[in-house]
Amino acid sequence: MPVIGRFEVYWMEEPLLGAGRAGARPWVIVSADVGEEPSRTVLVAPMSTNVKSVAPGRIPCRFQDKEVLILTGQLRAVARERLLDRAGQIDENAQNAVSRALSELLNPTFKLELNKALLQEEDRHHEFKEITSPNPVNSIKNTADEYAVAFLNSEGGTVLWGVRDSDRVVVGVRVAAGERDLLCREVSNKLQSIRPNVD
């Protein structure tokens, strides 16, 4: 199999929808170049022609004479055998924008500044919850498994407690060191009780 280059675009079936050429769409390779060895998987981001939904993590670019968005918030790791026809490569400006978006996505520490709004919007992969209860440990542990199950039934995701969902401002959660340890144990126990087991 030939080298699969970063920022090349391939047609591929939607990973979660199974086979059927009618469901094929273009995907951008965002992992490093892949040769014959050793990797059998690639990291890809889907393209969308719904350019009205511009938001953080959605990179606008022109590809094959069409305006498209590269959805860096919807990455998938897929077997390289799933890739169908090569469709081309995104331009240098789009490559730089994708690289910046991935850096922000994979290094979330820059996003969390107390009393500042996140760039990330709340979506099906990100849930924001402000804790107003005088007992934050109970508030979190009592809902952690519900969010886990909801994300497990979709495509995975992240819950950020201490972020106000109305304006995405980081308000934080005050939890003492001992309470943090307790919270970690309680949430871990709840996740272990989910069936089938969570990895």
Amino acid at 186: E
What pLDDT sits at residue 35? 63
What pLDDT sits at residue 20? 42
What pLDDT sits at residue 21? 43
- Report residue 140: phi and psi, to 5°: -75, -50
What pLDDT sits at residue 53? 67
Supply the pTM of this predicted model: 0.52
- pLDDT means over runs of 10, the chain (199 residues): 85 64 80 67 89 77 92 87 91 89 67 81 83 89 85 76 89 86 83 73
What pLDDT sits at residue 51? 81
Domain ranges of the chain: 8-106, 126-192
CATH topology of domain 8-106: SH3 type barrels. (2.30.30)
What pLDDT sits at residue 22? 52
Task: Work out the angle between the directed axes of helices 177-192 and 136-152 (0-180°, nearest 10).
Answer: 30
What pLDDT sits at residue 15? 63
What pLDDT sits at residue 108? 55
Amino acid at 191: L
CA distance 182 to 122: 28
Segment 143-165, tens digit of pLDDT: 888 888 887 777 677 888 899 98
In DSSP notation, 43-102 reads EEEEEES-TT---TTEEEEEETTEEEEEEGGG-EEEEGGG---EEEE--HHHHHHHHHHH
What pLDDT sits at residue 11? 93
